[in-house]
Amino acid sequence: MNFRTPRIENEKHRRFIAGLPCLCCGSSDVQAAHIRYSEPEIGKRGTGMAEKSDDCFTVPLCVTHHRLQHDWGNEREWWKLMNIDPVKIALRLYSVSGDQSRGEMIVNACRQQCAA
């Protein structure tokens, strides 16, 4: 039998993510956006329509970009168009969770790289 493990929730980390600027536009009206697609190399499984990933796989997105992420159809393609590796960014942010200045440094570096 294939039993799924329960989703790992971390409300403190989600609040940290929501306090960072949007990865795409820098807006401060941000939500913690869960990355839904799988990344088998690191053991991240994909999620169903009514299911969220573990909270370590969240990135800061404004309401507009969060809606685009969900509505695009192919999430992996959307992130590729944005020139962002959200899993890498999510794990970097999780490693500094709670440290606002380091979190902002990561987000700002990502935004600069994406704009290039």
**d(C-alpha 56, C-alpha 23), whole Å:** 16
Backbone conformation region of residue 43, classed left if phi is above 0, alpha if psi is from -120 to 50, else beta: left
Is the whole-model pTM more than 0.75? yes
**Please, where are the H alpha helices in 4-99?**
11-18, 63-71, 75-81, 86-95
Is the predicted pLDDT of residue 87 greater than 80, yes or no?
A: yes
**d(C-alpha 53, C-alpha 114), whole Å:** 24
**What is the DSSP-derived secondary structure letter of residue 50?**
T
**If you average pLDDT over residues 47-68, what whole number do you get?**
85
- Selection from 83, 77, 68 nearest residue 114 by Cα: 83
115 vs 33, which has greater pLDDT? Answer: 33
Cβ neighbour number for residue 35 with a 10 Å cutoff: 24
What mean pLDDT is reported for the chain? Answer: 87
CB 46 within 8 A of CB 38: yes
